[in-house]
Every structure is written in C-alpha cells, then in structure tokens.
Structure 1
C-alpha cells in the first residue's frame, strides 16, 4: 500500500483543519468522512500526521450539490433520531442494534459517562427501504432474535470495533503498521503471549493506536473508552490473535524489528603487576604521642616541661688521698 501513496508537498496539500474549513464541514464531520473513505488523505512527508491533497478538495467541491451532499453523507444520529428515520419505536431500534442489524459508526460519553452510540443516517434509510427487512420493523420480533436478547447479547461495541479496525487498516502503510492496528484491539497480555521478543513488542507498540480520545488519560471516561476498544468476545479475540500472528510473520520477513547495536569488543585489562616491597618507600615511623603526668601543684606548665625531675640521692665517692693512705698501711702490715 505504501508503494501506491505519494507524499504531497505542503504546496499541493493542506492540514485537516484547513481542509475541513474549505469543505464547509465541522471537524467531527470531516473526521467521520475520512473514517468512511469519503475524503482521501496522504501521510505527511515531515511526519506531522495526515494531509489532504489539493486535488481531493477540488474533486469534492466540484461534485453536484456540494456541500450539502457531502455533509448529508456523513450525518450521524443517535437512537432517537435513528428510530424516527426508520419509523420504529426507540426500544425496537435498540434491539436491532444490540443484535447487530444496524452498526454504530462512532460513540461518545455523555456527562453521566453513559455510552451514546451514533449511526450513519444513510445506512439507516437504506435498511428501512429494503423490503426484506420489513418484518423486522413491524410485528413481533423473531424468536431467534428474542432468544439472543434474553441471553444478554449486545454487539454494538464489537461491531464498532470491526468498523474502526477497517478504517485503521486503510490508513496503514506496511505490515508492521497493520500488526500494530490489530494489536490495538487486544489486551496487552494477549499481545505479550504472541510477541514474546521485547524488541519486537516495543517496535509494535509504536504503531499501536489508542482509543478515541474521551477525556484525560487515566480518568474514568478514558478507562471506559479503552474497555470499548478492547475485544471481549472469545471468537473475536481468537480471530484477532490469528490475524496478528500472520501479519507479524509478514512484518518480520519484510523488515525485522530494530535492535540495539552490539557493543564493540573490549579486551579485559590485565591486573596490575605486584610491586616489589624493596622499591616501595618505607612508611614513616609512628611514635605514640608523649604523655605527661598532670601537675600536682600550681607551678606554671612551662617550668615543669623545661626542668627535669630531680634524681634520687647517691652516696658521695671517698676522696682519692684517703684511699691511697689505707693501701700503704695494709702493705706495711703484711711485711
């Protein structure tokens, strides 16, 4: 699909808001027209979203009955107006929608956080005009439908998901984008079971669309929109899982998911060689700090430190002359 799309320079294309003004459409009407394929868009070469070619605007403006015809083709109505178009009571209209005979085209949340389903007026007129549906509009509801309603069947959200998925797939440009669109309708746990590689899962999440904006992320309205966006029927989940696996195989064959580049090889540095003890400088000797006894009197400290303590008394040595006289007397006696 990407080979058939030529990106338009800004001189020959315009933004969606500018295109809506030139086509005399409200922004919601313009988005629905794009959703339904009434207005063709192209990707912006600068990565700024979708743009509308000038040739497409000229084509729509040249059609007979513009702009009323274009605006009428994207008119969406609620349950009350839809029942009036089909000339049935609102309760019967709701039953037809719950069993999937009329399909919503979009939804919004009212101030009470209740889901309000919107239906395309053109489709409702066509359904009512088809003679094969006349038995559904009058008389008793067929037994098969009554049994489904009694079992609590409500296919409005599922049918909207199928329609919205078709719109997203028409906007994709490759297998990874298609896989991302499919993953957007599955619970993240289902996606993790299918895509076990974390790098593939991260690449896939780049193309995973979110639900239509309904309030700030994390608010009850946003949680309700996420719930409507997520498949909850077992057969619907099985179909989405199968299609996601098949599309992922195509995506891997087309272009593998990017991975971080391997780190360059770095040899582990050798540990430092031990240095011989003789070459190391000897550590400076450490001496314990000298201790001095506390002074016992009030003498100044500098006197106690500069004068050594008195030594104990020692006997005086005898005089040398006296020692010599005694020696001579001893020698005489011996002779």
Structure 2
C-alpha cells in the first residue's frame, strides 16, 4: 500500500498533465501516441499516468509550450493543401503516392476515412519536393495513380509500429506489436506454439485512440490496422519470426503450471486409486426333494373331475322373440282405420281454427 501511495505522489493523471503542458485533449492524446509524452502504468487497473519528472523535462525545453504544440499540430487535407498553396486534389495524389504519411484517421458519418497529417510533415514536403507542387506530375506517379495505388494506410501502420517498438524494450512485447499488424491466420502460421500465441495476445498493444465502437465502423478500422499488401504481409511475417527468435533466447513464453515470480510451482495431486465396491452374493438355489421312483401318472388321472350339470331349457332373448312374432292381419288394420275416421267425424279430432304448434328447427 505504501508503494502505491509513493507512486501516486510522483505521477499525475492525464488530464492534469494536459493542463500543465497547455495541450488540448486531442493534442495530448496525439503526443502520447507519437511518443512525445511518456506514460507509466498505474496499478492493476490498466490506466496510465504521467510521471512528474516527465513533465519537468518537457517544461524545461527552451521552446515550451509553443514547440510542443507545433509538434502535435495535426491538420486535414484542406488545411494541408492551403499550407502548400495547392489544390486538395493534388495533395491527395501526393499523399496516395507516399510523399507524406498520415498520423491518424477517423470515420465521418458516411463511414468514409478521413486522414490527418502533422503540420510539420506537410511543411517538410514543401521544402524537400517543391517541383511536385506545380506543373504536371511525373509519369511514374501518374501510372501509380492510374493503378489505384494508395499508400496512406500502409504508411500509417509503419508509423504506428515504429512508435510501438520504441515504447518498450521487452522482446516479447515487440513481437506482439509486430503480430498486431497481421491477421490471426497469418500469426498462427508463423507462431506454431499455442502458448506463445496466447502470450502474444496478452501483450497485444491497445487499439489506437478514437477507434470506433459500433460494428460497421469498427470493421473498417480493424481492416486499416492490418497489413493487406502481399509484400507488406511478407515483411511483417519475416520480422515477427526474427523477433520470436530473439525473444526465445531471452526467455520462453509462460506455460500453464510454470512458476512465476514469487509463486511456487503447484504440487501435483496424489494419484487417484480406485476403490473396489463390495458386491452382494447371489442366493444359492437348492433343488426340490425328489419323488420316489414309479410310473408317471396318466393325464386323465392327474386332471381333477369336472362337475356335471343337468340339461335345462334353452332361453331365447326377448328381442329375438319379438322379432319372430307375426305381423297384424289386413282386416285388423282396416278396422283400426275406420275407428279413427269415426272419431274425427264426431269431433274427437283437432278443430280447424286451432293453430298447429310451431316447432323451431
């Protein structure tokens, strides 16, 4: 705990450091990205702070604060063209052919890449190549532009890799910085050991400041951060292989179970001994007592006698008996019809004025 208090007493937060250096938030972030302001990790949270000695060193410069502000002054395409007194289209052609390297990029609302350049680099281009600012471009540049060549992403990756390599002396961290420029498939082809790949992934440098969070824009940013040209991929593969050879000579990558600093190797547990279960015995089946020898009984003797029942009358169902009765005679049917007609004449039937009851369906 005392160490943490001492570390906090000699370091300041990034916001406080930006105020003391008289830089804006974007300017201070760019100064850290370019390595002009060195930071140190603070605790296990992953946040970084600025040491007081670093602030004193920057303030002691004779051109402070104007010199530091000029070194982190970034401009866009329009401002760069105005600084060189050329058209924005001509400056874009010079940037695509690699005459000036961008320092960072961003995505606008249309997801178009907007490159930013250091004002010092733009001014240096005007001093070193004044012939490219006027007249027709050379034939070589026109042919490269006709072939849709664009070196801005590659130059930005080269600048970023240089900053990452200068920021650390650990060979494994430098190898991780080189691996961040390649696709995971390319890294797996160069690094065969899965434990080494996991170690490189843990040491992977953080994403550039201002990386988009949403998926569509983030995919574009990740594609720009990885090498895409065949010769660039080959160069990074060779550089990664050489960096791995140097890192292995310093020390191998940690494997599971290795003893780290201040931690002893875990003892292997005792071998597992299987326990034999006690199985119950099967019951012993004893044979039945044997019968005395003799001839086997016949089936008639062994079967019990069946009781005899006296024969009785055969019962016929009532439905069947009613079905076999004779129908009424023709004379009886005629007499019944005459009786119904007599009752109707004498008024025993229904009157004419009486309505028939209604039956609803």
| TM-score normalised to structure 2 length | 0.69
Kindly indicate whether structure 1 or structure 2 has the higher relative contact order, using CA contacts under 8 Å at least 6 residues apart: 1
- The runs of 5 or more residues in structure 2 that have no matched partner are 1-5, 258-265, 285-306, 308-361
Are 1:255 and 2:241 matched, yes or no? no
> Hey, what does 1:215 align to over in structure 2?
212
Report Cα offsets for 1:72-114 as digits up to 9, x if no partner. 2210001000011111111110000000001101111111111
> Hey, what does 1:295 align to over in structure 2?
none
Give how far 1:25 is off. 1.0
Residue range with higher mean Cα deviation, 246-255 or 261-270: 261-270
Structure 2 CA distance for aligned equivalents of residues 22 and 99 of structure 1: 39
1:39-118 superposed matches below 5 A: 39-44=37-42, 46=44, 48-118=46-116
Give how far 1:46 is off. 4.9
Secondary structure class of the residue paired with 2:114? strand
Report Cα offsets for 1:90-145 as digits up to 9, x if no partner. 11100000000011011111111111000000111122123xx1211111100111
Match of 1:246 among 237, 242, 251: 242
Report Cα offsets for 1:287-332 as digits up to 9, x if no partner. xxxxxxxxxxxxxxxxxxxxxxxxx9xxxxxxxxxxxxxxxxxxxx
Report Cα offsets for 1:201-244 as digits up to 9, x if no partner. 11111112354243225x11111100000100111101111111
Structure 1 CA distance for aligned equivalents of residues 187 and 237 of structure 2: 8
Are 1:151 and 2:156 matched, yes or no? no
Count of aligned pairs between the two proteins: 270
The two structures, once aligned, show a CA RMSD in angstroms of: 2.2
Match of 1:271 among 276, 282, 297: 276
Are 1:165 and 2:170 matched, yes or no? no
> Hey, what does 2:222 align to over in structure 1?
226
Give how far 1:41 is off. 2.7
Report Cα offsets for 1:152-196 as digits up to 9, x if no partner. 110000000000111111222411111111111101110111122
Structure 1 CA distance for aligned equivalents of residues 44 and 226 of structure 2: 31
- The runs of 5 or more residues in structure 1 that have no matched partner are 1-7, 280-311, 313-335
Structure 2 CA distance for aligned equivalents of residues 179 and 102 of structure 1: 27
Against the structure 1 CA distance between its residues 225 and 211, is the aligned structure 2 distance closer, same or farther, given a 3 Å change threshold?
Answer: farther
Matched-pair contact (CA < 8 Å) for 2:39–2:49: yes
Secondary structure class of the residue paired with 1:107? strand
